Structure 1
């Protein structure tokens, strides 16, 4: 039996007849071999092991050695083509994977050749092998991207024809699972309170979670981190992730890898987060993230379209209702401001200021179509005349439109009170406005608003007998069944708690 060196030398001797062509193939990274059909030995050029990414001495010159280096899933197809060539004499061509490598890398080989008759009269199967791994990866990547683009186009057409947002969300998570071949997908939507995300649609999660599950928005969760980042978030392995630990929801479902992107909202506030997850460690790339982001943008458009349809219906009902209420409110402000003992110039100025506050509140609420309104925008618009003299602290929560409108008037009266008696009437100092949702002991969900004035002399805001104090009390306590409180000491504060349904 010949040694590997002897067989290799014999192959080189055989190939030396090809002269410059054989040298060019070797220099180009191609390995050349031949096999006597009635034998069990191979001859090959010395670089064949390099082409196959194998250490020296891996080939022992036997067919068994060649068989071992074929991927089990591809071996049958390669031998089928070889046998057809032997039987018909037609040339053959095959692309196959080598046996799995310890590092998990895929090596793709292309071989082509045919039957020749040697000087000894025997029939030989000859072939040229070359590493085409890069080409195969590029072809597969192109095919994958084209498939993703077709899926995005189909989903865009689907979303345009739907009037129900939930149907669009359900199709989005189904399509993401299918195209990216993942077991878990989800769409999380911002809660009105802006303190958590709700599992609005998803595939693969435990029964009862979709529609009920909640995820925090702190930076330690993948969703929270995604909302704070402008780019898609790709996770190679959640167990070794250093940027965040991930919510319990992901750990409970054995998640290892995934991608998450932000779903834009109509304004600065996002709609939510779109995520896909795998229980195996997988390498998701930028193309996967861009595909998911494309789906997220279509979802955002569908959400805006659904919201616009709801707004149109709401506006039709609200226009008549609000017009009557607005006139009654203006009449009440006028009658209280222009009392018999009121100074005409002061009364006109107060009336004008209150109408301006009413207009600003109406602008913020009406801009959203009298739907749930971002409270932070109301604060910014109402207190805009005071610039950086007012510090606002709170999430951009959503409130019912009528409550937002009334709170705009309350904020104006508090600011007016501070101009007369407190910090805003001085040259220096700031007023703090803070808000949040919280649960009372009895389970009632309340919206808490605090106004902190550094000047203790501002106390007439709730304890006075003027129209401003009466208006605040009427709106907070009687109309909204809220609770008013005030504190006096080194500073003066007004607080209110208003029940708001979830």
Structure 2
């Protein structure tokens, strides 16, 4: 077997000016090959190997060497087209991938040509080869973008007409997996206590995980890192990822690559994280991340729509219930305030202050539709009159509206007590309030609040004789089955713990 650089008569008749043509073909990126149909003889130009990104002398002069460079998935189709051209004499055109090679990305070649016959009657199949990888990749990107746009439009229409949020989430993970061609997709939702995420919807995960699996929000997990960065995060290969380790959930499923984006939520609290993953190494691009983010925004809108619908139904029931409870509470506050021995002017002022605290607590909860409310918002609104004199710190925890309302009354009494007997009644000094969520060994979920006043207060005590003591006893201990512990020491410190019923 010889190539076109030789001087055999057959090749001279085929290429009259070998060197000039070789240079032109080299700079034009075109390779030419010719097969003598009645034999295994194959000839080619020198740059045919470079077009296929092969080292010099890779072809050994046989059809087999050329066939070996065809991708197994494309070989039968290409040779069927060539066979048809040989049998009918019609031109052929085929686009194929080369065989997978280590360290070489996907390579696409376009070949075309037809049958020729020389003066002696020998038939040849002649073809040209071009590297069309860039063109194919651009065409595929365009097709993928169009498919993504159609999917976003279709999903948006479905979400607007769907009343069931779980149905929307299930459809979201299916669309993401289908359009991005990934085996694993998931929607993680923030738990009310904001210390973990729950696998709310998913595709491709092991049985029993969807609805139950918990994922941490620490920076070492992909979801936690995504929440902290608040932007799309693309992982090329989890095995060599330096920004985070990834949760056990991903490692258990052999995840290598993926994308995760934040699903916006109400105000500053996200709904959760939307992610897709593959078990092989894949390079996702910016457009893929934008597509997933578009789906996440639609999910966020569906979540708000479902929440609003639930709020409307809840408010109708709650209005009647709250009206009676509020009147009973006001009557109880009045009975405790206007005692026979009290100074009437002071009693009226105290009663007015307590009603104001009642109104502020009700406002914080009512503006959200009497639903689960961030405790931090309640603290800020209730203690607003004391400004920077109160230092508040704690996780973004959602409390049931009834508990949040009662905690507002308790906070007001603590602040009032401090204004009379403690730090807030002085010109300087700061009161500290912190809160947290803890899970006991028995799985009990506990909401904990610590109030610390550097100056010892003597109004609220463990004896339970004052209004504040009675209020905490009635609300924290009897109503919510919690505890209120007052520390005995040089400072005033009270710790309140309330068990919560939080969905898994």
Q: TM-score, normalised by structure 1?
A: 0.91
Name the stretch that deviates more: 16-25 or 126-135: 16-25
Please identify, of 483-492 and 24-33, the stretch whose mean Cα deviation from structure 2 is larger: 24-33
Query: Aligned-pair distance for 1:11?
Result: 5.0
Give me the whole-angstrom Cα distance separating, in 1, the residues matched to 2:63 and 2:8: 15
Alignment deviations for residues 271-330 of structure 1 (CA, whole Å, 9 cap, x no partner): 122222222333333233222222222222221111111111110011111122223323
- Residue 428 of structure 2 corresponds to 428
**CA contact 2:22–2:45 (8 Å) conserved in 1:** no
| Range moving further from structure 2, 435-444 or 365-374 | 435-444
Q: Deviations over 1:98-151 (max 9, x none)?
A: 122221411111112223343554333222211101111111122122222222
Query: What is the CA distance between 1:22 and its match in structure 2?
Result: 7.7
- The answer on whether the counterparts of 2:265 and 2:271 sit within 8 Å (CA) in structure 1 is yes
Residue in structure 1 matched with residue 497 of structure 2 by the alignment: 497
1:460 is matched with 459
Equivalent residue number for residue 410 of structure 1:
410
Structure 1 position 489, deviation (Å): 2.5
Q: Which residue of 1 aligns with 2:479?
A: 479
- TM-score of the two chains, using structure 2 as the length reference: 0.91
Task: Between 4-13 and 280-289, report the one with greater CA deviation.
Answer: 4-13
Kindly indicate whether the alpha-carbon contact (under 8 Å) linking 1:8 and 1:46 is maintained by their aligned counterparts in 2: no
Cα distance in 1 for residues equivalent to 2:254 and 2:2: 54
Partner in structure 1 of residue 372 of structure 2:
372
Which residue number corresponds to residue 237 of structure 2? 237
Partner SS, residue 497 of structure 2: strand
* Deviations 1:149-200, CA, capped at 9 Å, x for gaps: 2222222222222211111122222222222333322222221222222222
Deviation at 1:23, TM superposition (A): 5.9
Which deviates more, 369-378 or 322-331? 322-331
**Conserved 8 A contact 1:11-1:45:** no
Is the contact between residue 4 and residue 61 of structure 1 (CA under 8 Å) also seen in structure 2? no
How big is the shift at 1:3?
A: 6.7
Aligned to 2:410, the other structure's residue is in SS state helix
Distance of 2:116 and 2:17 partners within structure 1: 14
C-alpha deviation, 1:348, in angstroms: 4.2
Q: CA-to-partner distance for each residue in 1:210-259, whole Å, 9 max, x for gaps?
A: 22222222222222222212112222232322222222222222322222
Q: Which residue of 1 aligns with 2:401?
A: 401
Q: Distance in 1 between matches of 2:383 and 2:490?
A: 24
CA RMSD of aligned residues (A): 2.6
Deviation, 1:465, is: 4.1
What's 1:362 paired with? 362
The whole-number CA distance in structure 1 between the counterparts of 2:440 and 2:22 is 85
Q: Is the 8 A contact 1:257 1:277 kept in 2?
A: yes
Q: 2:4·2:44 contact (CA, 8 Å) conserved in 1? A: no
Contact between 2:4 and 2:18, CA under 8 Å: does it hold in 1?
A: no
Q: Give the Cα–Cα distance (whole angstroms) in 2 for the partners of residues 360 and 38 of structure 1.
A: 95
CA distance in 1, matches of 2:61, 2:31: 14
Which residue of the partner structure matches residue 76 of structure 1? 76
For the Cα contact (< 8 Å) 1:8–1:43, is it kept in 2?
no
Count of aligned pairs: 501
SS at match of 1:114: strand
Q: Pick closer, same or farther for the CA change 1:442–1:214 going to 2, 3 Å.
A: closer
- The residue number in structure 1 matching 2:186 is 186
2:257 aligns with: 257
Q: Note the residue ranges of structure 2 that are not aligned, 5 or more in a row.
A: none
Indicate the residue corresponding to 1:138 in structure 2.
Answer: 138
Q: Aligned ranges for residues 24-423 of structure 1 at < 5 Å?
A: 24-343=24-343, 345-423=345-423
Paired with 1:204 and 1:303, the residues of 2 have a C-alpha distance of: 23
8 Å CA contact retained: 1:433, 1:449: yes
CA contact (8 A) 1:7 1:61 kept: no
CA displacement at 1:407 relative to structure 2: 0.5
The alignment partner of 2:460 has SS state of helix
Partner of 1:438: 438
Cα gap change, 1:130 to 1:361, in 2 (>3 Å): same
Q: Name the SS of the counterpart of 1:6 in structure 2.
A: coil
Give the superposition deviation at 1:398: 1.4
Verify the 8 A CA contact 1:7 1:44 in the aligned structure 2. no
Please tell me whether the aligned partners of residues 459 and 488 of structure 1 are also in contact (alpha carbons under 8 angstroms).
no
